[in-house]
Each structure stands twice: as C-alpha cells, then as structure tokens.
Structure 1
Amino acid sequence: MTSPSGRDMSSETSHITRRTILQATGAALAGLSAAGAASARDTPWTVAETPTDRTLYDVAYTDAGAHAVGGAGTLLSRTATGWQRVLDGGPTGNGNALYGADVTDDGKRLWFVGASGAIGEYDVTTGSLRDHSAPMDVTNNFNDVAVTGDAGAANVYVAGDSGKLYYSFENGESETWEYVTPASGSNINAVDFHGDRRGHIVDGNKTVLHTRDGETWTKIGLADANVNFYGVDSDGPDDVHVSGGGGMVFHWDGAEWTPSDTGDADLRDVEVSAGGAGLTVGGGGALYDLTDGTWRQQSTPTGANLKAVTRGPTDIAVGAGGLVVERRT
C-alpha cells in the first residue's frame, strides 16, 4: 500500500461514479412540480417475495440489478422473475453474516463484508467470487464497506467493529492492506465515499469524520447529538447525511449541522441524492422520504425492522427475516 501525497484535482474532476449518475438523476427529479413529487412519494411500498428468512443487512444496485446481503453469508439478486439466491455461506463458505455491501464505479463488482473478517468480491457479469477475508489476519467483525474505482482496480475501505478502518488501494490484494484508527477506537458503524479517496465515516462514539486522502481522518462532528450514529451518506465535503437513534437525521452543509427529528425509531441507513431526494429506514418498519427539505413518514406493509435502503429504478429497503419492500419510481 502506497501512501498518497495528495489527490490530483484533474483526476478528481474526471471521476464519474455511479453516485454521480444517481445524483444527476436526483437533480432532474427535484425539478418536477410539487404535485409530481407528491405523486412519487405516494407510490405504495409492497413486500417482495424472497428465498430466505435470514435478516438482510444491506442492498446495492449493480449493472446486473439490485443485490442484497445478509445472515449466514446470504447473497440475493433481483431478477426479472423476482429475488433469487446467488450465494450461501459467504466468501469463505463458513456462513458468516454479511453486514455491508458496495459496488465498483462501473457496476461490475459487488464487494461485501461481515462477521469474522469476511470480505468477498463478486463479479456480477461472470458469477465468479474472490475471497479477500481476514486481511492482515484480522478476524474481527466488519460492519460496512465502500469501494471506489472500476472492477479490478478498486480502492476498498472496510469499517471495523474494533474501531479500525482497513483499506487497500490495490483491489484488496494480499499484502496491500493497511489500517488506521480514525478516532477513539469505538466501533465504526458506516462508511461512504464521494471520491476515490474522499469520504466519511461514523462511529459508536457519536463521531463523524472526513478524509481527503483515504488515510488521514478529521473530525467534523457531532457535538451534543445525544444519539448513536448508524448510517452515513457522503455526497461531497459539504453534503453529508447521518442517520441515528431516536429518529434523528443530521445534515452537514460544510458550515453547520442541521438536525431533523422524524420520531422514535432508530434509523439504520440513509440514502440522499444531490438533488435533495432521499430515504431513511429503521426499526419497526420505519421509512421516511425526503422531499423539498422535509422528511415525511411513508406507509409500509410491515412492522419488521429495516436495516438498509437504496434508491434506483425501484427503491428497495431490506431487513429482518429476509424482508424486502419495494417502490417503483
């Protein structure tokens, strides 16, 4: 692993990611009339049938459609005929739960992480799977993962339950992993990047941190939050959303944090586009839609805990007992 001396701005300008495309889509949607936005918000959420009763902890879109990961190393894929099982047992076959997933910028590789040091790289175009588990012989639980760059040349960032962030700038190859303890050593719950080496994390000590080089981290909040942080959406150095306990969502605009109180449910994940449209999900089937700067509760056909959400042609939230709820957009 080489230590970057700073990010080249011409490279940063040319870095077009899946998130950039999603942000552009969100910006276009934000230009709709208020009536149109209300109509989209009122589209009903429905339960999709899945081939598992294991809790699903994360969901992400790839070039081959949406994929979800969960308990016992489960990997599911959303196909034209519904959700199908792709993998049982995780990357090692040991059945370790998978807690986080992210996709390379070209949409071709799905990375996932989980219990006992599990790390997998799944090629959605060929169906092949590479096992990168236990980097540096670490077998702690991994809570989340962020990847930037294209298939085979990705930067990989793994959030550790021990307070360490593990990273590889060479696609997770052996002997290329390093780690940093960004803050107090409390568990890192979520990680998200808006550029090759620029992103944010949240930890169990109510802390939000930012990096510009993928290695060194600076605290940017959050004083007097009084709730735990569970999810982070990083769209830029001045556009960050954090979801947490007690129904709280916080937005950083580069100068100050703005809190929003949605209710009582712990909010486990948040996804917001640059256009300002977003979703957050949590306990008891809680699901909120962000439109015109206001979070509004959505009616869902479940009271089960929701763990993660993704936006796309179909918005998807996943959770306990193999639950998937969907909304056509």
Structure 2
Amino acid sequence: MRDMTRRTLLRGTAASAALASVPALGAADSVWLNAKTAVDVSLHDVEMTNAGAYSVGGGGYILERGSDLWGIAASGGPTGNGNDLYGADVTDDGERLWVVGASGAIGEYDVADRTLVDHSAPNDVTNNFNDVAVTGEAGSANVYVAGDSGAIYYSFENGASGTWDSVTPGSGSNINAIDFYGPRSGYAVDGNTTVFSTSDGSTWEARGIEDADSDFYGVDADGEDEVTIVGGNGTVYRWSEGAWVRSDTGDASLRDVEVTGETGVTVGDGGAMFRRDAEGWTAATAPTGTNLRAVVDADGLEVAVGDGGTVIERSL
C-alpha cells in the first residue's frame, strides 16, 4: 500500500466520519446510480468534508448531500450576485469548504455553522476563477486560486484582506486546475498544454509536457512524483520514473481525475468514465450521457457531478 501523506490521511479521516453519519442515497456496491438534486444547474466540482459531500455550480449554488437528495446549502455565491462557481476544495480538517467562480468570486463555507464568508475580488481582481486548492486547517489555511487570466492568486493567511499576492507562471493562458499535496507544494495546469509545479507556493516551474496536443483540464497530485493530468482528446498523463507517460482513452475530453496509488477514476464529456488499475485505463459505464465535470473518491463513496444538476454515486 502506498504511504498516505498527512493531508490525505486527514481528509480520509474526515470523510470516514461524514460517511458514518450520512446514509447512502440508494447507492449499491460497484453500481453507479443517479442521485436526486434540488436544482438543474451545471455542477462543476465536488468535495468531501467532515459534514459529508458538497458540490458547487451555476448560480452560485452550493449543494450538500442529504439522506434522500442533494439539497441547497447556499445560493447566490459568496457575493450574493449569483456568479457561477467553478471550483472547490476543503481544509485538511474537513471543516471549511472554499469555493471560487466567475467575476472574482471566492468564498469560505463553514459546514458546521452553515455560514459563507466572502473573500471575493482579491486586490480588486474580478477575473473568472477556475479552481482552488487549500492546505492547512480551518481559520489558518493557505489558499491558492487558479485564474482565467493565467495568474495564480495566493494567500498564506486564510484569504484575509491585504494578504493576497499573485504570480503568472506561464504564457498567460488560463489556469484550469490546481492541486496541492503539501502545505506549499503542488501542481497546476493551463490551457497551453503546460504543467507547473511549486515547492514554496509562490514560485512555479514548468514541468512539460512536450508534444502534448490537447488542453489540460484536471490534475491530481499526491506527491512530487505522484501526479496525473487529464485533458482533451481523452489524454491522460502520469509522471513515472522521471518522464510523462501518455495514455489515450478515446475522443472525449476528460475534465477531472482522482488517483490513489495504482487505482483511479477519470470523467469527462458525454458521460465518459475510465478506471485505472495496475494494467492501465479501461472504460467504465456511467448511468448518464451528460458531461461530467468532477469526481471525488473518499473512503467508501465515489461521486461524480456534471451538467444539468447531474450527480451520480457509487458505494464501494
């Protein structure tokens, strides 16, 4: 078994506690089923907190997994203006869900108090934000936001006003996804087929990928040498023995990926879904043909979300 990082261990512990208290929505072992949702907006990301699973999407909606459907935890987004939310991440203790989206939206949702704190427009920036990564515990997190303008915005003081800085690691192409495996160590991918890495949270180094012919949309990083990238034309790249190894799954663009050791799952357009084992990636069957935008795999439950309020679940 691969040694889990402290960050992964904390999230797994939080997820276990959440799943113990939240009943499954009729999900059966090894079978993906559709879950009921209270809205039909596109859902762009999904995360597991210590209060259960949450998803974010159009209209600034934050949905929470309940006993019989995914209900509305908050609407309107952090500013109340209804800006779409595109990305989410959770603190290491599982207590706060950070969300980002259109027009500079940044919010910090307390899953216990059910309150949403507005951190929007850092340094008066109102670009679209595509993804967010947070490390550390509630109230003292490092926050990293992927911007559509090619910049990464970061705060080492829980997003407090006046603590934000930014860096543009590449050509200015949109940063589509970001993921951290340590307090200040992580990866980001952009729309110009480039992968970036950092070990201090503020300076970034290009890590390829040469001869890539598709945009990158998703990244999962569990360590410096444990990173997987997915993108257009069904491409998957995994860092192995000092080089990027490419796998081709088909024509559908892949939007998100979750990998743990030798196993993993990726989802994408048209309900595309693929599973990874020691032999490589193989097609899996999803109970939907809608575009899937994100997937989370947490200690006994897999959830994927997508267009039209789609949520599918699989109990492991």
Q: TM-score, normalised by structure 1?
A: 0.88
* 1:277 is aligned to 2:263: yes
Q: How does 1:276-315 map to 2 (within 5 A)?
A: 276-312=262-298, 313-315=300-302
Partners of 1:166 and 1:206 in 2: CA distance? 20
Aligned to 1:6: none
In the TM superposition, what whole-angstrom CA distance separates every residue of 1:87-138 from its partner, at most 9, and x where no partner exists?
Answer: 1110111000000000000000000000000000000011111000000000
Aligned to 1:135: 122
In the TM superposition, what whole-angstrom CA distance separates every residue of 1:149-190 from its partner, at most 9, and x where no partner exists?
Answer: 000000000000000000000000000000000111110000
CA displacement at 1:295 relative to structure 2 = 1.1
8 A contact 1:104–1:154 mirrored in 2: yes
Q: TM-score, normalised by structure 2?
A: 0.92
8 A contact 1:156–1:171 mirrored in 2: yes
8 A contact 1:15–1:196 mirrored in 2: no
8 A contact 1:237–1:254 mirrored in 2: no
Aligned to 2:174: 187
8 A contact 2:59–2:77 mirrored in 1: yes
The amino acid that maps onto 2:205 is T
Q: SS in structure 1 opposite 2:233? A: helix
Aligned to 1:30: none
Partners of 2:11 and 2:50 in 1: CA distance? 13
Q: SS in structure 2 opposite 1:147? A: strand
CA displacement at 1:22 relative to structure 2 = 4.6
* 1:112 is aligned to 2:102: no
8 A contact 2:36–2:68 mirrored in 1: no
The amino acid that maps onto 2:233 is G
- Percent identical among aligned pairs is 58
Partners of 1:152 and 1:254 in 2: CA distance? 38
* 1:125 is aligned to 2:112: yes
Q: SS in structure 2 opposite 1:325? A: strand
Partners of 1:298 and 1:123 in 2: CA distance? 35
Partners of 1:254 and 1:200 in 2: CA distance? 17
Q: 1:322 to 1:232 in 2, by over 3 A?
A: same
* 1:251 is aligned to 2:238: yes
Aligned to 1:37: none
In the TM superposition, what whole-angstrom CA distance separates every residue of 1:203-231 from its partner, at most 9, and x where no partner exists?
Answer: 01100010000011111110001111000
8 A contact 2:11–2:92 mirrored in 1: no
Aligned to 2:77: 90
Q: Which moved more, 1:295-304 or 1:174-183?
A: 295-304
Partners of 2:279 and 2:33 in 1: CA distance? 25
Aligned to 1:215: 202
Partners of 2:273 and 2:101 in 1: CA distance? 24
The amino acid that maps onto 1:114 is G
In the TM superposition, what whole-angstrom CA distance separates every residue of 1:47-79 from its partner, at most 9, and x where no partner exists?
Answer: 101001000000000000000000000100012
Partners of 1:246 and 1:252 in 2: CA distance? 19
The amino acid that maps onto 2:84 is A
Partners of 2:82 and 2:148 in 1: CA distance? 19
RMSD of Structure 2 on Structure 1 (CA): 1.9
Aligned to 1:4: none
Q: SS in structure 1 opposite 2:193? A: coil
8 A contact 1:114–1:141 mirrored in 2: yes
Aligned to 1:68: 55
Aligned to 1:226: 213
Partners of 1:135 and 1:15 in 2: CA distance? 30
* 1:49 is aligned to 2:49: no
Aligned to 2:45: 58
Number of residue pairs aligned between Structure 1 and Structure 2: 300
* 1:99 is aligned to 2:86: yes
8 A contact 1:56–1:318 mirrored in 2: yes
Q: 1:113 to 1:251 in 2, by over 3 A?
A: same
Partners of 1:253 and 1:137 in 2: CA distance? 40
Partners of 1:184 and 1:19 in 2: CA distance? 35
Q: Structure 2: which 5+ runs fail to align?
A: 16-28
8 A contact 2:5–2:222 mirrored in 1: no
Aligned to 2:20: none
Partners of 1:254 and 1:64 in 2: CA distance? 38
